Amino acid sequence: MIFGYARCSTAHQDVAIQCQQLQALGVSDSNILVDEGLSASSRDRPGLRSALDRLRNGDTLVVTKLDRLARSVQDAHAIASELHEKGVILQIGKSVYDPTDPLGKMLFTTTAMFAEFERDLISQRTKEGMARAKKAGRLKGKRPKLTKEQERQVIKWIQEGEITQAEMARILGVSPATITRTRKRLIENGYLP
């Protein structure tokens, strides 16, 4: 069987073009597994895991480009090794990867290096942009889940000790974790003992 894998790292991107390319490479629509909004820097991706679980000896996994599969040399080699051990063929675009061919192995590693390099550059640019925005006063972080008035109410409830954090969360329409984080911050800032 031939399976395809498509991935995009943000919600703003679309995998439709990758799916069309996979279909043009012989993958049926029902055998295309997708991860949307997930970075390839993590191997913890449901679509990838499903693909790796479904593949059997003699099957083929097709990706349009190597950076859709992995964004680090280590992950690219780990995935390729897992596929090879299962007897699965890895096809990148129109090329079939042969891990026993020294030239193919070198090209695979070089392509994976460029994917990792590109990921690192994107990360660095993002951090630099956020630092500039913060310095210019345009990056203020997340808006608090609770208003100042609600925080004062939380302080009062905690001091009185009559209701649980779960009840506070239900009354204020937030998660219990929000109350836990708020309490921790209030203690750190000296508003609560």
For residue 35, the cross-strand partners are: 7
Angle, helices 165-172/176-188, rounded to nearest 10 degrees:
110
CB 6 within 8 A of CB 68: yes
Dihedral (Cα; 4, 9, 12, 18), 10-degree rounding: -20
SS3 call for 35: strand
Q: How far apart are CA 100 and CA 119, in angstroms?
A: 27
Three-state helix/strand/coil letters over 76-107: HHHHHHHHHHHCCEEEECCEEECCCCHHHHHH
Marked catalytic residue, from 9, 41, 72, 123: 9
9 is annotated as an active-site residue: yes
Q: Which residues have a catalytic role annotated? A: 9
